[in-house]
């Protein structure tokens, strides 16, 4: 087995594949290692939104946009306590390059729907790949293989190799055997987030969160561990997207997940999309929306209750994240949302919805009953919907009696709710679930400069080591739809392109001085503001 390469990429999700493909197309001899048996990572699980400014689709639609406005709007998403920790300099660098990435993907045949609005963005910036995020994976994999790259799946990277202070390769397990691979130009960490790494979650969020799973079951923090091995500084590791409740996914993919994601059929879909009526497009997106989304907090705020398999309440429905911790500690880590007639009516039309893809599609009670009968059931009584999910009806009645007594002011709530919700009653009931508590993704990553070189504790580049995607967030907080995928692919493209250039020039010793924009103008690295 060959062991010498120009570039080694750890991780076969969107960022790693984009990086590996760009490097290989630039002339580098590339090896991509993926721990899992198949490629995709978190990108392959997503809807596929890509948020950017000054794009060709914006210009075509007459939308005027710029990076300054995008940066200002992005700061309006998410908690202020997180936004003040943002690496604004790096995020602005990112916003300067997203449109070029969309154009790059367009040249390889990928097609996008949009742009679509997402308040508080002042203009539409969200672009959705056709038919879903698997198109990214298929396109990048094909491009990498055509350019002569090598892919090894089922090959976890175990340890970086350092020689005279420079990362020169890594040790990976291939077919049960530990092998050392050498990288002449650089090693790129692109192994995803740590949402399903209980030890890392415990270290940075607290041990009470370790029962909560990551949406991507393979998000084990491999890249973060490798970076830390060689002295990398990790930043914002305590910031996570979630925990939040989400409906469990379908046992099998729906047809929208099986649509062609590569080849002529995919390109034909992209060309035909502008001719498809918007209601049809929205219907397809709605099917994706109900596949794996979170119920809005407003449902619980309006009086729906959470019950476990035993039909019992077990937490204060209004308090997050203690609510999610409580869900994760139930039998099988699941819970259900019980809604009465009033709530069923309320969540059947705008502006009250069960889940949303902002400004594109909204899913109501009827949508879940029609599209997700595995997680939604209706009946004339609470007992009827409870029994349909093998839940003891008598216990559900006792739960409702106590809850309604609290709502009427006759009892104190055992879980310390202090609001005065409406009693649950009526001749129509819906039970939604199971839901589980998940970490969607994590915002922590290695500190990097604008060349995506990994920085040590003194903010000095670690020679030969780069990080992209979730491994290389560099202190950025990317709240809002479509930013994580946009960063993953953009950072992968930029690093891959640069490493391809370095491989062609056989210029290893001076690579730390080069910039993507201007090789003579790179400022010394500083701690993120």
Going by DSSP bridges, is the β-strand pair 126-129/49-51 parallel, antiparallel, or unpaired? antiparallel
Q: Could you tell me the pLDDT band of residue 527, with boundaries at 50, 70 and 90?
A: very low
Helix (H) or strand (E) holding 466: strand 461-467
Q: How large is the average pLDDT for residues 256-275?
A: 48
Q: How large is the average pLDDT for residues 152-170?
A: 97
For domain 247-438, give the CATH number.
Answer: 3.90.700.10
Sign of CA dihedral 516, 502, 34, 230: negative
List the structure tokens of 121.
């963005």
**Domain range 4-242+440-513, CATH class:** alpha beta
Round to whole Å and give the CA distance between 294 and 296. Answer: 6
- pLDDT(501) > 90: yes
- Going by C-alpha positions, the residue among 283, 326, 281, 286 that lies closest to residue 308 is 326
Amino acid 429: pLDDT = 98
- Which neighbouring-strand residues pair with 346? none
Amino acid 286: pLDDT = 55
In which residue are the tokens 């009931």 written? Answer: 429
Tens-place pLDDT, residues 387-400: 999 999 999 999 99
Q: Could you tell me the pLDDT band of residue 249, with boundaries at 50, 70 and 90?
A: confident
In which residue are the tokens 């003040």 written? Answer: 84
DSSP string, 218-259: T---HHHHHHHHTTBPEE-TT-EE--EEEEPPPSS--HHHHS
Q: How large is the average pLDDT for residues 331-338?
A: 96
How many alpha carbons lie under 13 Å from residue 49 in its C-beta half-sphere?
21
- Going by C-alpha positions, the residue among 183, 182, 179, 228 that lies closest to residue 462 is 228
Q: Quote the radius of gyration of the chain (alpha carbons, Å).
A: 24
- pLDDT(44) > 70: yes
Let me know how long the chain is: 529
Domain ranges across the chain: 4-242+440-513, 247-438
Amino acid 513: pLDDT = 45
Which of residues 510 and 282 earns the better pLDDT score? Answer: 282
Q: Where are the beta strands (DSSP E) in 19-83?
A: 30-34, 49-51
Round to whole Å and give the CA distance between 67 and 61. Answer: 18
List the structure tokens of 109.
């045949």
The counts of H helices and E strands in the chain are 19, 23
Do 133 and 44 contact (CB within 8 A), yes or no? yes
Among 113-117, 430-434, 506-510, the range scoring the smallest mean pLDDT is 506-510
């Amino acid at each position: 087995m060959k062991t010498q390469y120009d570039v080694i990429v750890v991780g076969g999700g969107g960022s790693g594949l984009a990086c590996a493909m760009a490097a290989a197309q630039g002339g580098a001899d590339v090896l991509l290692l993926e721990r899992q048996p198949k490629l995709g990572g978190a990108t392959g699980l997503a809807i596929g939104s890509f948020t950017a400014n000054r794009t060709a689709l914006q210009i075509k639609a007459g939308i005027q946009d710029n990076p300054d406005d995008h940066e200002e709007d992005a700061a309006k998403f998410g908690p202020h306590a997180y936004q003040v920790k943002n690496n604004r300099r790096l995020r602005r660098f990112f916003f300067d390059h997203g449109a070029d990435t969309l154009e790059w993907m367009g040249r390889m045949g990928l097609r996008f729907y949009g742009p679509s609005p997402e308040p508080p963005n002042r203009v539409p910036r969200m672009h959705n790949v056709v038919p879903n995020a698997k198109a990214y994976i298929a396109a990048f994999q094909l491009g990498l293989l055509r350019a002569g790259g090598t892919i090894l799946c089922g090959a976890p990277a175990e340890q970086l190799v350092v020689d005279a202070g420079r990362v020169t390769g890594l040790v990976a397990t291939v077919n049960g055997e530990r092998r050392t691979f050498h990288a002449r130009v650089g090693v790129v960490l692109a192994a995803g987030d740590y949402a399903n790494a209980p030890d890392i979650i415990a270290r940075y969020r607290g041990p009470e969160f370790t029962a909560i799973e990551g949406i991507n079951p393979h998000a084990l923090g491999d890249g973060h561990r490798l970076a830390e091995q060689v002295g990398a500084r990790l930043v914002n590791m305590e910031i996570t997207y979630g925990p939040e409740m989400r409906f469990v996914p379908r046992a099998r993919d729906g047809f929208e997940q099986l649509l062609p994601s590569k080849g002529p059929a995919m390109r034909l879909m992209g060309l035909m999309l502008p001719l498809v009526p918007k209601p049809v497009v929205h219907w397809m997106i709605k099917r994706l929306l109900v596949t794996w989304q979170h119920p809005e907090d407003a449902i619980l705020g309006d009086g729906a209750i959470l019950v476990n398999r035993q039909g019992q309440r077990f937490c204060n429905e209004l308090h997050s994240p203690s609510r999610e911790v409580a869900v994760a500690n139930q039998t099988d880590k699941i819970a259900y949302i019980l809604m009465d007639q009033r709530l069923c009516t309320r969540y059947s039309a705008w502006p009250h919805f069960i889940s949303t893809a902002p400004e594109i599609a909204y899913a109501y009670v009827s949508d879940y009953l029609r599209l997700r009968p595995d997680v939604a059931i209706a009946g004339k009584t609470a007992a009827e919907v409870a029994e349909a999910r093998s839940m003891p009806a008598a216990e559900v009645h006792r739960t409702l009696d106590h809850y309604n007594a609290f709502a009427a002011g006759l009892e104190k709530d055992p879980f310390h709710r202090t609001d005065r919700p409406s009693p649950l009653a009526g001749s129509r009931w819906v039970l939604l679930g199971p839901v589980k508590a998940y970490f969607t993704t994590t915002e922590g990553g290695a500190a990097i400069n604008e060349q995506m070189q990994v920085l040590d504790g003194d903010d000095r580049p670690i020679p030969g080591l780069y990080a992209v995607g979730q491994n290389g967030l560099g202190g950025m907080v990317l709240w809002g739809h479509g930013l994580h995928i946009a960063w993953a692919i953009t950072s992968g493209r930029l690093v891959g392109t640069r490493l391809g250039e370095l491989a062609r020039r056989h210029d290893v010793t001076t690579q730390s001085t080069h910039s993507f924009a201007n090789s003579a103008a790179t400022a010394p690295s500083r701690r993120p503001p």
